[in-house]
Structure 1
Amino acid sequence: MTQDVEMKELPAPSNSASSSPPSTLQHLKEIASLIETGAYAREVRRIMRVVRLTMALRRKLNATVLASFLNFALTPGSELHGRLFSYLPKEDEHDMDVDTATSGTQIVAKHSLPELEIYCYLLVLIFLIDQKRYNEAKACASASIARLKNLNRRTVDVLASRLYFYYSLSYELTGDLAEIRGNLLSLHRIATLRRDELGQETLLNLLLRNYLHYNLYDQAEKLRSKAPRFEAHSNQQFCRYLFYLGKIRTIQLEYTDAKESLLQAARKAPVAALGFRVQCNKWAIIVRLLLGEIPERTVFMQKGMENALRPYFELTNAVRIGDLELFRNVAEKFSDTFNSDRTHNLIVRLRHNVIRTGLRNISISYSRISLVDVAKKLRLDSANPVADAESIVSKAIRDGAIDATIDHANGWMVSKETGDIYSTNEPQFAFNSRIAFCLNMHNEAVRALRFPPNSHKEKESAEKRRERQQQEQELAKHIAEEDDDEF
């Protein structure tokens, strides 16, 4: 671990006399050197750092820089060199040759490194997706996956997981996601046989996303239940898994488990992953409403989420009031938003909750009220509202939503006096659920702690203690960077 922390400084450029900052090409060359070091030393953490550094340079990539780096990292004239060059824009080829003469012969030993080949594939694929050249991205991704199937190296696994993600993304952006489902299943089987747990996590999430994209929830649940489970290696992949699990549980009417998964995914997601956290909150709000809970106002006032959650705030207000007409108006007003979020079918389920909430408010306000007035206050729009109101009241009484009786002779709903809730077990259940939540959070925090090896055996001096504290701070910084990468 000490070696890994001390590698934070990349090799400085040879012309250190220049005061100008290093160029993007120079950064890529340093990353190539880091890949070589990690490959020969078999240090996976160095390869993970390569991915973080690459994501920081993503917006600075262009065809000229990529061409110069390919000339630097690969053998000019080789099959891989020619294939990757074919994906780059042809009009920039004059500028591409500028760096060839000086850098094409600098690295000879790196040409045969599989890690460097896969990294070149990854760079070109990211560039093509950012340039919205999705057909070329699909071809590049397919070629990289074919190459990956022949590699069984642990130092390649980190780069492979990123390639799997962009492979699926390129097909999703062109609407051809169903074409690669069989290939993803084959890759997941290969990753399982090779004990590539990071690859298994990534591919399982991609398969779940693939199934849910086409509303194949039963197939997604069968895959999830039969896939091998192990301790999560990537916080980002674990958050995605919790989100997909929450969606599956919601469709299967298991609202309590769905709520726990969605809230946990939103809590564990990095702060920078705003879009992901917004989606988690949207689904969590719907699930809580289906459970009969009303989310707090602070949920809708989170920084950066106010506008995105505005339709769900108005929907929550309609459910809280129990106004069926207001609920219909909100559902029609924001129907496009709900359809794009794929929550429209869940909102249809909320109609019964709105009626039940309105009925509960009526039972609290009136000790006795006619079923005709109940139908008017609930604004039932059926052919026989009185009969519907009677059936709705009967079902609410049977389910325990209200404490009342029906006087069929006079057509009344007679509410019973409200009892003392503290004489029931409800406060105990609420208290136990809060204690379980706090204990679960404490246990997860303890499991997430990382300690240096044999720290309890050695007596360290003040200087060693300072070095260890500095290394721990740097490691914490790297872990924080990992959390922000993939979103």
Structure 2
Amino acid sequence: MTQDVEMKDQAVPSNSVSSAIPSPLQHLKEIASLIETGAYAREVRRIVRAIRLTLAMRQKLKASVLSAFLNSALVLGSEVHSRLSSYLPKEDDHDMEIDTATSATLAPVKHSLPELEIYCYLLVLIFLIDQKRYNEAKACSSASVTRLKNLNRRTIDVLAARLYFYYSLSYELTGDLAEIRGNLLSLHRIATLRHDELGQETLLNLLLRNYLHYNLYDQAEKLRSKAPRFEAHSNQQFCRYLFYLGKIRTIQLEYTDAKESLLQAARKAPVAALGFRLQCNKWAVIVRLLLGEIPERTVFMQKGMEKALRPYFELTNAVRIGDLELFKTVAEKFSSTFTSDGTHNLIVRLRHNVIRTGLRNISISYSRISLADVAKKLRLDSANPVADAESIVAKAIRDGAIDATLDHANGWMVSKETGDIYSTNEPQFAFNSRIAFCLNMHNEAVRALRFPPNSHKEKEGSDKRRERQQQEQELAKHIAEEDDDDF
């Protein structure tokens, strides 16, 4: 008897420890109950939380756990259960014993909510992508999108947006991204008609990514300009939109707008999204170089980005110096990196900036120099370097890049003497503009802190006035009734 009591007492701590650490299956059950509560109460925030909890335990998703969860969440033998179970591999005997034991304790499900059904699609799709079974992921995502077209519930919008993302990702990983472009357009139209703004955001970004993947920048800009305007609901989707907008503006030579969009996307992106911020910084560096700006050294020394931004640092150094030979060497050395980043065509445009920078340095250093020496210093490797140097100098003078004159007869470039800029009014104008900007910002800040004058008193006075008028009307009506009674 004493031994039995001691054995029971020893068994209690082990059970308490096992119950204190819930299994992945129990986690999924809790998430499913959260989705059910959100669906019945029509609270989207609960479903958003369920998705976050799912992504946090993504590494723990296994075939046995998913199979047991499908048995508990879906009707056994239904079409959805059979389809999703077919994507999961057969479990071992040990896993099957655990699954049957856990599923036997579950209450039988009479029907499944559409939200739970879509959530099961999402779990299986994530598992297939993580297992690199991309062809099966394509089939699963296509089936889930077909099912979503028949569901018009606002509580499914968050799950649908996540499914759209993995739907496009599965086709992108297999190189068949062009096949779903028409389907994405129809889904975007459906989301617009249903006022699903989160779905519109996600699908618009997926369509822009689809077009940019095949360098269809004109079609991407037409879609972006014609798409309906709405308030951004997801910070991640808004960052992606700014990044794609920056790429479109860069290709369309609108460098100022492109720089603003790319820097804003990099600032708004989460700290954990290192790869996304890295891409934004790469494109922003190229755009700033095309604008004639030299990025600060701190841009290339950001934590976790030093190695990836090294090619762009050397490229920036070559542009800053104006050395065309060094620029060609860097471009050839890191050509594979630039091609994979999609910035190779932009770097070809930088050649003109390098030549202009070198020409500006020459005009500052020499008051008069022959065009042959200009071609030699710029290291022009064309068939007729003197003629090319003459055309380059003429264009730079016309654009205002250098302050010089061209002597065609003698073959010289004569630089004008640079006077003392402090003897002119330019420093005064620059200083005055900065002071005006600071004063304007100060006045706007002070104005924003002000309240409307005596707004609470006016409101109180109007309420009292209305109450007094009502009392006077009631009093006049009472006096009139008394006069009638006297008669």
Q: TM-score range by the shorter chain?
A: 0.7 to 0.9
Deviation track 1:412-440 (CA, whole Å, cap 9, x = no partner) reads 1111223428734884799599979x99x
Matches within 5 A, 1:20-99: 20-92=20-92, 95-96=95-96, 98-99=98-99
Counterpart among 422, 425, 429 of residue 423 in structure 1? 425
Structure (1/2) with the larger helix percentage: 2
Distance in structure 2 (CA, Å) of the matches to 1:245 and 1:230: 16
Distance in structure 2 (CA, Å) of the matches to 1:176 and 1:26: 37
Q: Please state whether the residue corresponding to 1:90 is helix, strand or coil.
A: coil
Distance in structure 1 (CA, Å) of the matches to 2:250 and 2:414: 35
Distance in structure 1 (CA, Å) of the matches to 2:327 and 2:432: 31
2:284 matched to 1:284? yes
2:402 matched to 1:405? no
Is this contact kept in 1: 2:181–2:207, CA < 8 A? Answer: yes
Matches within 5 A, 1:220-299: 220-299=220-299
| Equivalent position of 2:477 in the other structure | none
> CA separation of 1:349/1:267 partners in 2, compared to 1, >3 Å: closer, same or farther?
same
Deviates more, 1:95-104 or 1:114-123: 95-104
Is this contact kept in 1: 2:157–2:196, CA < 8 A? Answer: yes
Distance in structure 2 (CA, Å) of the matches to 1:237 and 1:108: 39
> CA separation of 1:121/1:94 partners in 2, compared to 1, >3 Å: closer, same or farther?
farther
| Equivalent position of 2:12 in the other structure | none
Distance in structure 2 (CA, Å) of the matches to 1:433 and 1:20: 64
Distance in structure 2 (CA, Å) of the matches to 1:160 and 1:427: 53
Distance in structure 2 (CA, Å) of the matches to 1:244 and 1:434: 32
Structure of larger gyration radius: 2
> CA separation of 1:361/1:145 partners in 2, compared to 1, >3 Å: closer, same or farther?
same
| Equivalent position of 1:185 in the other structure | 185
Is this contact kept in 1: 2:64–2:99, CA < 8 A? Answer: no
Distance in structure 2 (CA, Å) of the matches to 1:187 and 1:98: 40
Is this contact kept in 1: 2:64–2:91, CA < 8 A? Answer: no
Distance in structure 2 (CA, Å) of the matches to 1:203 and 1:69: 29
Matches within 5 A, 1:470-481: none
> CA separation of 1:104/1:237 partners in 2, compared to 1, >3 Å: closer, same or farther?
farther
Is this contact kept in 2: 1:288–1:295, CA < 8 A? Answer: yes
> CA separation of 1:429/1:366 partners in 2, compared to 1, >3 Å: closer, same or farther?
farther
Shift of 1:381: 0.6
Q: Please state whether the residue corresponding to 1:199 is helix, strand or coil.
A: helix
Is this contact kept in 1: 2:250–2:287, CA < 8 A? Answer: yes
Distance in structure 1 (CA, Å) of the matches to 2:284 and 2:433: 19
Distance in structure 1 (CA, Å) of the matches to 2:93 and 2:49: 31
Distance in structure 2 (CA, Å) of the matches to 1:359 and 1:230: 48
Look up the equivalent residue of 1:340 and give its one-letter code: S
Shift of 1:39: 0.4
Shift of 1:20: 3.9
RMSD: 2.4
Q: Please state whether the residue corresponding to 2:413 is helix, strand or coil.
A: strand
Q: Please state whether the residue corresponding to 1:372 is helix, strand or coil.
A: helix
Shift of 1:97: 5.3
| Equivalent position of 1:131 in the other structure | 131
Distance in structure 1 (CA, Å) of the matches to 2:22 and 2:436: 55
Is this contact kept in 1: 2:318–2:354, CA < 8 A? Answer: yes
Q: Give the alignment's TM-score, normalised by structure 1.
A: 0.83
Deviation track 1:194-227 (CA, whole Å, cap 9, x = no partner) reads 0000000000000000000000000000000000
Distance in structure 2 (CA, Å) of the matches to 1:253 and 1:114: 47
Look up the equivalent residue of 1:258 and give its one-letter code: A
Distance in structure 2 (CA, Å) of the matches to 1:102 and 1:49: 25
| Equivalent position of 2:144 in the other structure | 144
| Equivalent position of 2:453 in the other structure | none
| Equivalent position of 1:352 in the other structure | 352
Matches within 5 A, 1:389-400: 389-400=389-400
Distance in structure 1 (CA, Å) of the matches to 2:150 and 2:318: 57
Look up the equivalent residue of 1:334 and give its one-letter code: F
| Equivalent position of 2:161 in the other structure | 161
Look up the equivalent residue of 1:357 and give its one-letter code: T
Shift of 1:230: 1.1
Is this contact kept in 2: 1:262–1:281, CA < 8 A? Answer: yes
Is this contact kept in 2: 1:84–1:121, CA < 8 A? Answer: yes
Look up the equivalent residue of 2:309 and give its one-letter code: L
Q: Please state whether the residue corresponding to 1:332 is helix, strand or coil.
A: helix
Distance in structure 2 (CA, Å) of the matches to 1:311 and 1:237: 29
Deviation track 1:21-52 (CA, whole Å, cap 9, x = no partner) reads 11111111100010011000000011100111
Distance in structure 2 (CA, Å) of the matches to 1:95 and 1:193: 46
Shift of 1:90: 2.5
Q: Please state whether the residue corresponding to 1:112 is helix, strand or coil.
A: coil
Structure 2: gaps of 5 or more residues: 1-14, 450-487
Shift of 1:89: 1.1
Structure 1: gaps of 5 or more residues: 1-14, 447-487
Look up the equivalent residue of 1:286 and give its one-letter code: I
Distance in structure 1 (CA, Å) of the matches to 2:425 and 2:67: 75
Distance in structure 1 (CA, Å) of the matches to 2:93 and 2:290: 58
Distance in structure 2 (CA, Å) of the matches to 1:409 and 1:379: 23
Deviation track 1:289-329 (CA, whole Å, cap 9, x = no partner) reads 00000000000000000110011111111100000011001
Q: Please state whether the residue corresponding to 1:308 is helix, strand or coil.
A: coil
Ranked by relative contact order (alpha carbons within 8 Å, sequence separation 6 or more), the top structure is: 1
Distance in structure 1 (CA, Å) of the matches to 2:431 and 2:187: 49
Is this contact kept in 2: 1:71–1:104, CA < 8 A? Answer: no
Q: Please state whether the residue corresponding to 2:187 is helix, strand or coil.
A: helix
Is this contact kept in 2: 1:282–1:309, CA < 8 A? Answer: yes
Q: Please state whether the residue corresponding to 1:369 is helix, strand or coil.
A: strand
Distance in structure 1 (CA, Å) of the matches to 2:392 and 2:123: 60
Q: Give the alignment's TM-score, normalised by structure 2.
A: 0.83
Q: Please state whether the residue corresponding to 2:98 is helix, strand or coil.
A: coil
| Equivalent position of 1:322 in the other structure | 322
Distance in structure 1 (CA, Å) of the matches to 2:45 and 2:375: 65
| Equivalent position of 1:338 in the other structure | 338
> CA separation of 1:256/1:52 partners in 2, compared to 1, >3 Å: closer, same or farther?
same
Distance in structure 2 (CA, Å) of the matches to 1:54 and 1:433: 53
Is this contact kept in 1: 2:262–2:280, CA < 8 A? Answer: yes
